[in-house]
Structure 1
Amino acid sequence: MFRTGFRGGVVVLAARGHADAFTLPLWREQVGKAAEVAAGGDGALIINATRLEFLSLRTLAATAEDACRYRRAGVEVYLVTPDPEIARLAAGDSRTARLPVRSTVVSALTAIQLRRRTTPSTGRDPDRAPEIAPDVPRSGQNGRVHFRAGDPVIAIGEFRGAVAPTLAPGTDRD
């Protein structure tokens, strides 16, 4: 059983019952219809599987495959399930690893908002670590010094004492 609703401008497809090989054609049809609605609107679809009694790996793989196709058409697709085993399976299988899985509809909505806030306006990929850019240019460089999260930062000048040096896990001090 499927029900389509909206949270803001995002399409939410709620599914109940079993999602297995027998129901896979109906599952794909309903996800496809919801993705069409999302394409004509806000461009985001959340598949709420919190009330499913069973979700097969084949259905999960088909959803990931379809989500990739919809993503190319401009529709973001997120799967919501509170089951950590499904999230673990999705992350560990190469067929489903690119399907974003969240534990609640609210966390999926937040992920959609954060992605949109960082990607279009700044041009940055939200999955990349943010840059840390001090306002003091180094000699020999025109502009700002850029560091990526996790890069070692050497305290120079007015920054001395502001950064506590630490070793990354698994590294030895030279």
Structure 2
Amino acid sequence: MRNLENAPKIYVGTYGQYNSGSLFGKWFDLTDYAGLKEFLQDCYEFHRNEFDPELMFQDWEDIPDFLISECSLHKEAFAYFEATGEMDDEAAEAFEIYCKQISFWPSNGYELDDQLESFRESYRGFFGGSMKDPELEYAYQYIDETGLLSGVPQALERYFDYEAFAKDLFLEGYSVYEGHVFADY
């Protein structure tokens, strides 16, 4: 995991307890488990005082909403945590955005490996630096990396409209979310 302070955690109670007016449960740190099966076994063991406990995830921290609901944790959650644990914070944030707002994973049916590959192809980086306009900042980098204005006399280069170019670039071909730029494939 990247940071133990940001470790995924779930407060697990049961519907039976909740319907009886109790919020009795326990916070489970998912970094303590190798997978979903082990986690659920521990949850059922904790609530063994009930005959057939129906688990209720009453609260959670550092788990993207697309992986959890009140009554289930997605089967790919632990693989997702492992994959993002190997990323730096910026890439992990971008991957969460990509899954949530661009490719709608895991409901898109892709395997996590395919999702990661697609993300790596699409992600262009974080552009929330000194310019405060990620689209314009990316346009400057794009022009520099592609050499779009190389060979243009400096006297003419200063008349290039970077703002208009950035606007056109993001009308078709690129998207920006919270400063993260993605190519639209």
Tell me which protein shows more strand as a share of its residues: 1
Structure with the larger RCO, 1 or 2 (CA within 8 Å, 6+ apart): 2
Tell me which protein shows more helix as a share of its residues: 2
TM-score under structure 1 length normalisation: 0.31
TM-score under structure 2 length normalisation: 0.29
When Rg is computed on C-alpha atoms for both structures, the one with the higher figure is: 2
